[in-house]
Every structure is written in C-alpha cells, then in structure tokens.
Structure 1
C-alpha cells in the first residue's frame, strides 16, 4: 500500500551539492534539555551545502509554522483509495466528503487540542487548527520555536540571500508522542520558481489547439466541473492576462476565485508561471465552472503546505495542479513530505486528482540556480510529482501536422523522471510501474508536450505590454494534462475520481503483463531519453504510460 515512511524507518543515502545532507557528518548545535523528555518528528536537521553559515538566527525573527498532525487508520485509508477504483468493491466510486474523511482518518479533536494547548503555552500566536485536522498553524519567534521543538536555528548566506534552517532535529515533548508528524517553517527553504524554456520564435500551440492534437473531439469542454492551481504572490496581473487571453482566443471567461493562504504577498516574480498554469488549463477546458487559485505567501515548504491542505480540506476543485518541484531530499528531511502526502491522500479519497510537473532537468532533480539544465542536479525525482497520491507529469517533444493532427512524441531530454529513493508507490501501480516491484515510486505517470519547440503560446505582460510568448517545460505539460482530464471528468462525471488507480488499472488489464501491447487511449512513447533513462515500449521513466488520446480514453475508463 502507498504510505510515507519517516526518516527513522528508511535510511536516506542522498547527498547533493546545493541541496541538503542528512545529519550524518554535520555538527549539530547543542540544545539544553533532557533527551529523555523529547520524542522525534520527521523534521530532521538541515544544513545547506551551497551556503555559508553565519550565526544563530535572530531570536526575535518571526516564523510561520505549520505543524502536521498524525492521522488515524492510515493503512485503512490506503486500502479505501484502492477499493474506490476496483470494480466489484463495495466502495467502488464512493468518494468521501471532507467531513467523512475528518471523522474517519484525521487526528482526533483531543489530539488537536493537546497540540494547540502546547503551542499556546509556548507563547505562540494565532494558533489555528485546519478544518480537516491535518495541520495546526501558528506564528512564533525563533526563540519560541527553538524552545518548543528542542531545536536550534541558524542563519546562512545562500546565493546572495540570507536564509535560515534548523540545524538540529525538531522534537516534541513525550506527552505529544505520536501526535505530530512534522514541524514546517523552521527553515525558509523550498522550491525555486521553475525556469520556463522558451522557443526562439512563435512555433507553439495555443491551449485550445492541444485539444485537436490530443483528440478531445466529442468530450465536454469542462462543463460542470472545477479545477485549481497552486500559486504564490500577487495574482492581480495573472487574472488580467487570463481575461486578455480569453478575449483574444474567443473563449468564455472562467470564473476565478483566489484563496490566499496566509499573508497576501506583493511578489510578482512568478507571474509568467501562473499565466502558463491558468491559461493552459482553462484554455483546454474553457467551460469549466470555476478556477480556484490557492495562493501561498512564499514558496517555502511551510507556506506551500497550507495551500495544498486548503485544496484538500475545501474539496471544491475536482483537479489541482502545481507546476513546482524540488529534490525529494529536502521535503523528506524537513518533514513537509509527510505533511503534504496526508493532504494529497485526503484529496485522493475524496475523488480529487492533483497533477504536478516532474521537472525540467531530465533524470536529475531541480537545483537552483541550474534548474532547467538537464543533468545539472543529483539523480533523483522531484516532489510533489513523486508523491503516490499525485499524478506526476513528464515531458515530450510533440510532432503534429500543420492541421494539428497528432503524429508522434519523443521523450524530451529535459523531462523529469526516475525512481524516488524515499517515496513508496501506490498499490495501483503494481504490475505496470517498474519501480513498484521494488517498493519504490517511479516517476512520471504520464507525459505531454513540454519541449519549447512544441510549447504553449500564452499571453504575458512585461512593462505594461501584453504579448504572446511560447514557453515549454513540464510546467506546461502538467496543467495541459489537468485540462484534458477536466474534459474527461466533465464527460464521464465525477465518478472518475482519483486518476492514477483508474489509469493504471485500465492499462494493466489491456497489457496483461505484455509491455509491447498497444493500449487504446494512450500514445506510447518509444523514442528519446532523459539522461539515465530511455523511452521503451510500455511504462518507462521518461514518459510513464505516455500521453492521452482523450476521446478514446474517455470511453475506456470504468
């Protein structure tokens, strides 16, 4: 069954220049307290290897903490997700509401109260329990956090910026043993904005043209369903660019709801990324009832966890997308992988599908400042695409006729893919996804146009002028996949639910153990490589199951 392990249950043998290293070989700051009174969480010690340590973090510096609460009946949750996609099961296509999830699987109210009482006793402010009781958020100072979690926090100089990181593991009092999974916000590390590769001239596709390429004919254009994007900063210009794109392309205006998860930031550095996410997904499914944007204050793992959790807790969007990622090692060590996986699991059992880009560095994972350069990082996968409860989307080079008729695809050399060293696979991938037999998570699950030569045309504003830009990357492929899936959900209804079990079950039935068998509804990509891995018949670590023939696949999924 799919589940996340804690650092104490699996040894991490990962080191990467510019990322982090595990605690072995790192001198940890002494913290005065009796070790016998403390128990570990999944948040371990961090030390940026590409940074210079300066001094202890200022004691009065403000932190936004996100504390993960341990769920109940975890194995039963994984079993239920699999049963929901198994014909003949009493739970087949019976998805939970947030209230049902909370009652069956979330931390109890008593546990949440114990945690909030403790944080309040440490002087923290604005202590709030999420509605699904998977997280508690709080505002604290460095001094309060160090005392409350028996840790130490230091300042570092990294790429000309000052950052902080906890240099010893985060712990909680023995009275909270088993109640807390991880403590996020003790560092301000997290994914960097992806570098969007651009084409030298206007050669790409407008979002609605991908419907022709991937054969969406006969499917509903998103009617009656909803989708979402995870973003960060100020989305004012993104909404304006979306409205401009809709007018230029003759598309209806999709209603937009912005949900700010924390302090509203004035940062606009990611505007072109959010332009790509919003225009691509809604351009493919233009009649969607609503687009929700869950907006984080920053791209730290702590702030992103709040937005991811809000997507699940509200259960208002059938599909969601994050065109962001970071090497598996950081979220594994800082505890955000455990926290976020629970939110993604809730979304899955509620019948929601979350899409994430697999990265643009090939069989390596993204590392700043060389993100987007194939092979520039360590051999690893990118999170959250590596989560078993997420549909990881890789990249292809798309070949189509002048009339946008599909011809073939080649594995894009920069498309992320490989085997996660720390994530476990969903049981539904067994027999298809090669890594599943070894108890590991293989990435990606599917792949779509990402090479900027076959990239997407979007409208972006620079210095007050709005123009068409052709960009690529798996930041394009992921919202593209979500838009196509939204059309399938609109056509078949919400019973399609969480996509991965349905896709893998159908794929395995057709192939019946023979990977060279063509699977109607999928374009099998058998050429190209992403560094370590090569495209092969059937599932592979460059393009997963392949891309969709939407019209055919819509009729095949049960």
Structure 2
C-alpha cells in the first residue's frame, strides 16, 4: 500500500449512506449508546468459549457457473475481516438526522474524531480480533478505514486452515475462471460478535467501467505540451469558464469525422463551455465561484495517465490541483495509447476539472482487477475517501456487479456503514447507475447495479442532450445502435441508462425520502414490510449519451496526445459531483454547511411542483429497456415526475446549487463538529443525550 501527498483535512464548508437493515427504529440516540461504547463494544476474551463460530456469509455461485478446478493452495488472496461499527442503530439514525432538511440537526456533521469516538470499533476490540486472527495462523495488518477492516493477505492453503473452509473453482457464463469458499468462515467465539464477516473469499464480482465512446480508436494530436499550454486562451484565469483549446477542437472534429459524425459543440459533443451553458452555472464560474477550497474524490481501479490529465487541464484552462493516492497492491498496468488503461480515470478527473476548475481532485487508485481481485480489493478503496474525510464530494463511476449476481451480504453491509459515515461527515457520494439499462448487467432480466442500489448515496443516470440553453433532454437509450463501443472494444451495441427497483435495499416507513415517488413499473421485489418501499434508482440524470458526449485526452507523451469522445453514466456521475462542489465552495454553503447526503433534500424540492420545475428538467418520454440483453419488455418508461429511466430528471444548476446550501446560517460561519452534538460527543454520551433533548425542545418552541 502507498500514497502521495493529498490536501489537508476539511475544516469548514468553504474548505471542504444503510445495510440490509435499513429499517432502523426511529429513536433518538439513547443513553445506551455510551454504555455500549464502553462495555459491549469491547470484544475482549473472557470466560466465553473459544469454540470456533461461523461469522458472516458466503456468496452464492452465480447463475450459469460450472464447476472447475479449485485455485491452487499457493494462490494468494486479499481478504478483509470486517468489524461491526459501535452503536450501529444510532449510526443510522444520526445519519438520517443530519441529512434531513426537516430535522433540527440538519447539517450538524461530526468531525472524524467525533465519528471515531462514537461509532468506530474500540482499539481493544481491534486488538482482540487481531490477536484471534494470529492465533488462527494468519498475519493480519493494521486495521484501516476507521478501524472497520482488518486486511489479511494469505495463500488459499492458509485461509483454509484458519477459517475452516474449502475452496471451489468455477467457470462463469462469460468464460472467466473464478473461485469461492465452500462454507461460512469460522472465528474464535470470544470475538465473533465483533465481526461482521470476512470479505473477499470469492472473486465473482469484478469492477466494471461505465462509459461508451463514439469509436474504438482514439485520434492523435501531434503537438508538444508547450504548444498546448500556449493555446490556452488568455481568458483562462481564475474565475473563467474553461474552454477547449484549438488543437483539441481540431482533433475531436477529425475523430468524429473518421467515425461518421459532424462535430458540433452543444450537439454532437459538449465542451466545458457548453456544459456550463446547458446546466446553467456559467455566471457562477464567471463570478469566480468555481470550486475553490473544496476537494472532489474520484475512485478508480486502474492506473491513471497523469500527463494526459495535465494536458487536458492546460488545454481548457482549468486550475484544479490533482493528487494521486495509490491504495492497492501489486504493480498496476500502465496506460498506453492502445490498451485504454486510464480512460475511466481521465473521464472522471477531466469532467470535474471542466466543471469546477478550482476544485482540488484526489484520485484514489485501488488494485487492478485481475484473476485474484476480490471484494476486499474493492472495499478498501471504496471506503478510503470516507476514512480520509478530505473530499466533500465523492464520485464512483465503477460497478462491482448487479443484484442478480452473487451478492455477499457482508460486503453490502460494509458499504452501507461506510456511506452512513460519509453522511455523518457531510460528504456527498455519487455512483453511476450503469450503462446497460434496466437490465443492469446485460442479462435478459430486470437488474439494478451495485453500489448505485444503495439508499445512502445518489445514483446518477444518463441522458441524451441537445442544445446550449434550455436543451432538449431525454433518457439515454441508444441500445439499438451498434456503432458505439463500451469500455473500448468490449461490446459494440450501444447502451442505455441504468435504473430499476432494488431487490436488496428498502426504506423504513418513518424515513423514506422517496415517499410519494412511486415510478411506473414499480413492484415490491425487495419484499418490503407493510408500509415500507424498495429503493428506486436513479435519483438524478445528466449527460451520458456518447452522441452528446465529452471530448477528453486519455493518453499523452512528449510528442502529443490521444483523444476520445466519451459518455455513459461514468460521465454523468463526476459532472454531478462537480456541480455539488460548486455549491460547497459557495459563500452560502460556507455559512450553512456543505451539501452532504443530498437525496432527502432533492426529493423535498421535487414535492412542490413550482420548485420541481425550477430545479429540475423532468424527462417524460423514452425508456431504458436494453435491447441487446435479450429482454423483450419495455421497462422502465419515462413519465411526468419521478421515473426509473431518469429519476427526478436533470439539474438546473442555477437553482439547485443555492438549494444545496439550504440550512440556517451559523454565526461566524459553519464549522464541522462545532455544534451541540459534535461537542457533546467528545464529553460523553450523557451530554449527547442532553444536547438532543435540549435542541428538540428548542426546535419545538420555534414552531
């Protein structure tokens, strides 16, 4: 593991989601929270039996998998022993309170120290579990990500002995070889209650990029870096709207021509200038309010081409400072003009730089996905930006699979805990809804992608957009078109915006931000209890159709650079993260606090017809049925209001940005943790309970 220099911890708004148990009871933080943190949370060895106990779950084999030779005993695998957070129910409830604009605790976010005091496993718990793992013959490393995960790298032979499991090999329907544990792992009974499960005992799920390109081969611009910099317009200064330099404009036009298209900004493609016009944040950039003091994280599982990203910023006149954090293992495959490694990273980073040209960008790079990539390799990088608590917005353009696949509940619950912690810290998390329509993973059945299915993040779909002002917008679906290329050369059959009903995640009746928004085609596929509803995806949608895509530089060297015109929900997601960063950097959010988890707010805005019309473009025609999957239905249809082809629609940033800063202004400006609950957390649980009671009474008296 390693990293590089990254910006400092967030201090204020200007400088800076649930598991399968989503239905936590509607209660305030109880007095038991403190005593739990002192007593039951410490999984100390005692008179309890040291008998081994099965802990967690094991993923089921996916449909169509055939038995194959098991992995050799010498195969090395990464796993994470996932610990339970302290006070899990209170964690969920407080994350709700700070995210709900109707709550008296709205935006009373906690500092990293306060979060760890209340919800991280205690050091003694970590030490006891670590000791138990060593006693079982493992060599665990130091706990990571708020102490929630203890990483272990071991051979198959060692894992068999330690966890009392076997391993089976499989050949998946797509021909890939995979492995899985044959039983639920066992741990010492004295610490089993502190452990959620062992993540990474299979490699069924693999990260997948979510972009489409207008052609399978890039176009070369033979120009030196110095010449690119000289082309950057004199208007490119702090506070200016980024614009394509002449060499990139010429090259992207030639690229489109070679693929049978005519280049048109605001039509065939969207430059940074056209995006600003279409979404309505031009005046914000021209006034100099353009992401300054805020960091945006992009999560990747590939090596970046740093020179390509630098060349793009020089070309368009963006001043975003990009830092790189390697949080993986092994030696990553490096980008070349022909292997397209780094394209996803270029999309995410360059889109943020184009929209918020003074925001800092942190590229979190996890392990390359290969034949031994496991859920643990996904989870550690997924959680790292939340553990670091530097970025106010986090963009995830990758998928780890679909709900119809071999889902390990230990991974799902761990992701939810991470997202709840992000909400507590005031971080906004965005995830791509996928590029295979309502079928998710290109299978002939309705399917929702992971992690976009999680109720504690904002799922972002894709649209087809035409025009610079008041553009025409429809849900992205060109799955009838065979000229697009998914992930470069993987599948030549167009794409469609992901969306649908989650089979795994539901809302409690007392806290359902989607209440009243039942989309056409909804059904209770998650088995929600009476009065509860399944999570629906997406929440919002932005430009994602390669026919109205984004010109980018994906590879560069001393003699020039290579360009593509790309889109997909991989593009839509960082655009929305960057728009949120514009809000977080504004003077209004400096007074009220960063946007945080935005879903409760955006659905509240949509409940009023006038506010809905002022804040969102409602897409009412089209669907996201993915034809190449073999699915023959027509779900899901766009309609007036919320639908699962476009969510609430696409944002009108000139209205949404100030709305994201909703909340009472704090005297002297907003500061994270400087509130009754945050300060009480450092004094002991009785103080937290007293603070909640006092503030509730105060809020009631103001009604």
When the two structures are superposed, what TM-score results if normalisation uses the length of structure 1?
A: 0.85
Q: 1:87 to 1:501 in 2, by over 3 A?
A: closer
| SS of match in other structure, 1:230 | strand
Name 1:127's counterpart in structure 2. 141
1:190-217 deviation per Cα after TM superposition (whole angstroms, max 9, x unaligned): 2343363223444211234311110013
**C-alpha displacement at 1:331, in angstroms?**
6.6
5 Å-filtered alignment, 1:461-476, equals: 461=555, 466-476=561-571
Q: 1:206 to 1:298 in 2, by over 3 A?
A: same
Name 1:451's counterpart in structure 2. 545
Match of residue 111, structure 2, among 89, 92, 97: 97
Match of residue 351, structure 2, among 277, 280, 283: 280
| SS of match in other structure, 1:100 | helix
* 8 Å Cα contact 1:134/1:343 also seen in 2: no
Name 1:372's counterpart in structure 2. none
Name 2:248's counterpart in structure 1. none
| SS of match in other structure, 1:84 | helix
1:136 aligns with 2:235: no
Which shows bigger deviation, 271-280 or 484-493? Answer: 484-493
**C-alpha displacement at 1:155, in angstroms?**
2.6
| SS of match in other structure, 1:447 | strand
Name 1:182's counterpart in structure 2. 197
Q: 1:171 to 1:507 in 2, by over 3 A?
A: farther
CA–CA distance in structure 2, aligned partners of residues 183 and 209 of structure 1: 47
5 Å-filtered alignment, 1:15-414, equals: 37-87=51-101, 89-158=103-172, 159=174, 161-194=176-209, 196-199=211-214, 200=259, 201=261, 202=263, 203-219=268-284, 220-235=289-304, 237=305, 239-266=306-333, 268=335, 270-288=341-359, 290-299=360-369, 300-325=374-399, 326-330=401-405, 332-333=407-408, 335-367=410-442, 376-400=443-467, 404-413=468-477, 414=496
Q: 1:471 to 1:430 in 2, by over 3 A?
A: closer
1:125-168 deviation per Cα after TM superposition (whole angstroms, max 9, x unaligned): 24221151211111112122223333221233445543322233
Name 1:480's counterpart in structure 2. 575
Match of residue 649, structure 2, among 531, 539, 546: 546
CA–CA distance in structure 2, aligned partners of residues 242 and 352 of structure 1: 25
RMSD: 2.6
CA–CA distance in structure 1, aligned partners of residues 272 and 128 of structure 2: 49
Match of residue 416, structure 1, among 481, 492, 498: 498
**C-alpha displacement at 1:221, in angstroms?**
1.2
1:308-341 deviation per Cα after TM superposition (whole angstroms, max 9, x unaligned): 2211111011111111112024473263111111
Bigger RCO of structures 1 and 2 (CA < 8 A, at least 6 apart): 2
Q: 1:197 to 1:242 in 2, by over 3 A?
A: same
Name 1:23's counterpart in structure 2. none
* 8 Å Cα contact 1:488/1:550 also seen in 2: no
**C-alpha displacement at 1:90, in angstroms?**
4.3
* 8 Å Cα contact 1:363/1:415 also seen in 2: yes
CA–CA distance in structure 1, aligned partners of residues 418 and 612 of structure 2: 35
Name 1:497's counterpart in structure 2. 596
**C-alpha displacement at 1:462, in angstroms?**
8.1
* 8 Å Cα contact 1:363/1:381 also seen in 2: yes
Aligned residue pair count? 511
CA–CA distance in structure 2, aligned partners of residues 148 and 246 of structure 1: 50
**C-alpha displacement at 1:481, in angstroms?**
1.1
Q: 1:555 to 1:6 in 2, by over 3 A?
A: closer
CA–CA distance in structure 2, aligned partners of residues 523 and 40 of structure 1: 50
Name 1:28's counterpart in structure 2. none
CA–CA distance in structure 2, aligned partners of residues 443 and 350 of structure 1: 24
**C-alpha displacement at 1:430, in angstroms?**
3.7
Q: 1:323 to 1:131 in 2, by over 3 A?
A: closer
CA–CA distance in structure 1, aligned partners of residues 134 and 380 of structure 2: 19
Gaps of 5+ in 1: 10-35, 368-375
| SS of match in other structure, 1:495 | coil
Q: Which has the larger radius of gyration?
A: 2
1:55-114 deviation per Cα after TM superposition (whole angstroms, max 9, x unaligned): 232122211111211112222222212221345744221111122112111222232222
CA–CA distance in structure 1, aligned partners of residues 392 and 497 of structure 2: 26
CA–CA distance in structure 1, aligned partners of residues 580 and 600 of structure 2: 14
* 8 Å Cα contact 1:165/1:188 also seen in 2: yes
CA–CA distance in structure 1, aligned partners of residues 414 and 141 of structure 2: 17
CA–CA distance in structure 2, aligned partners of residues 497 and 444 of structure 1: 18
1:537 aligns with 2:636: no
Gaps of 5+ in 2: 1-16, 25-49, 215-258, 478-495, 523-527, 626-634, 663-703
Name 1:506's counterpart in structure 2. 605
Q: 1:397 to 1:40 in 2, by over 3 A?
A: farther
Q: 1:262 to 1:101 in 2, by over 3 A?
A: farther
| SS of match in other structure, 2:574 | helix
1:442 aligns with 2:536: yes
* 8 Å Cα contact 1:3/1:424 also seen in 2: no
| SS of match in other structure, 2:107 | coil
